[in-house]
Amino acid sequence: MKKTLISAALVVSSIVGSMSLAQTFEIPDPVAVIDGKALSKADFQAAVEPIVGVDNLEFIQNAQQLNELISQLALQDKLASKAKKEGLDQTAEYKKFIDHAARLGLSQAFLKKTVDDIKVTDEEIKAEYDKQVKAIDKNEYRAAHILVDTEAEAKDLLAKLNDKKKPLSFAEAAQQFSKDPGSKDNGGELGWFRAQVMVPEFGAALQTMKAGEVSAAPVKTQFGYHIISLEEVRETPIDSLEVSQERIKESLVSKQLRDKIEGIQQKMNIEYKAQ
């Protein structure tokens, strides 16, 4: 039973993983005839929904995907029928599995109802958008860096980079001394990015620098000590409210759901025995 369930899950995972935004494949009704009995599109959708976690069939993009899923469902039905004939639905193992499935199903039903009950207003979306726009750095940065383990190493490298007689080039220093495997071979180049995608200390340091500058002092982060070369800065447009509203709505719903679950957890009284 476990192997069959795992196999079905793998098939479903591969199908859902390849879904696109709009369905281009028309699903027939009935979707198949199994052992002389028609499987309607509605019954097929009802059977698939608990597996894939969506309430439509838009993730199915071609006949191969559809038929693989039908095959898995038909196999499960056949195995379940044989199991019943052998009385396996009366075993302790089966009852344990049903208890687990019921607990999981009910908890998922509660979460779905909670999400459905959450209402986010246009005013809340606009307020969150304005908050994000105010907080975001509208610039993108093109920079390179050298990462070393200690402050002493970083200061020594800075001295070599700033040597007035024979300065070490930044790219050469990165290739020789940087501990960052993702950028050292490219002379420390990181490409274009927003400050927010970097660890806070790195992003904050960039925002105090001008294009063409190397950081005056090493920048300490959780990864070590960085010497940063800021090469270019450009201002980029921020997505409009219209473009951002679905993303913001989803984030607000997620936050309310998270708050609801945390509230339930805080009221639980668990005495843990493991030390």
Q: Domain boundary at 74, 89, 104, which?
A: 89
- Whether 255 is in a domain gets the answer no
Q: Is the pLDDT of residue 14 over 60?
A: no
Instruction: Look up the domain containing 46 and give its range.
Output: 2-89
> Is residue 143 domain-shared with residue 229, that is, in the same domain?
yes
Mean pLDDT, residues 150-168:
95
- Whether 104 is in a domain gets the answer no
Of 14-28, 156-170, 183-197, where does mean pLDDT reach its minimum? 14-28
Label residue 167 by pLDDT band (50, 70, 90): very high
- Whether 108 is in a domain gets the answer no
Domain count of the fold of the chain: 2
Label residue 230 by pLDDT band (50, 70, 90): very high
- CA-CA distance, 231 to 262, in Å (whole number)? 44
> Is residue 142 domain-shared with residue 229, that is, in the same domain?
yes
Note the pLDDT of residue 25.
81
> Is residue 163 domain-shared with residue 77, that is, in the same domain?
no
Note the pLDDT of residue 202.
97
Report the mean per-residue pLDDT for the chain.
89
- Whether 124 is in a domain gets the answer no
Note the pLDDT of residue 51.
73
> Is residue 70 domain-shared with residue 141, that is, in the same domain?
no
> Is residue 144 domain-shared with residue 230, that is, in the same domain?
yes
Note the pLDDT of residue 79.
95
Q: Domain boundary at 89, 118, 148, which?
A: 89
CB atoms inside a 10 Å sphere around CB 70: 17
Helix (H) / strand (E) element for 230: namely strand 224-235
- Whether 181 is in a domain gets the answer yes
| CB neighbour list of residue 206: distance below 8 Å, 6 or more residues apart | 141, 143, 195, 198, 228, 230
How far is CA 270 from each of CA 242, 257, 267, rounded to the nearest angstrom? 45, 22, 9
- Whether 59 is in a domain gets the answer yes
- Whether 84 is in a domain gets the answer yes
Note the pLDDT of residue 50.
76
Q: Is the pLDDT of residue 120 over 50?
A: yes
In this predicted model, what pLDDT tens digit does every residue of 180-227 receive, in sequence order? 999 999 999 999 999 989 999 999 999 999 999 999 999 999 999 999
pTM: 0.56
Measured over the CA atoms of residue 154, residue 156, residue 162 and residue 167, the dihedral's sign is negative
> Is residue 17 domain-shared with residue 74, that is, in the same domain?
yes
In this predicted model, what pLDDT tens digit does every residue of 93-117 receive, in sequence order? 999 999 999 999 899 899 999 999 9
- Whether 122 is in a domain gets the answer no
> Is residue 6 domain-shared with residue 81, that is, in the same domain?
yes
Note the pLDDT of residue 48.
85
Mean pLDDT, residues 153-164:
95
Residue 211: which CATH number? 3.10.50.40
% of the chain residues with pLDDT over 70: 91
Q: Is the pLDDT of residue 52 over 60?
A: yes
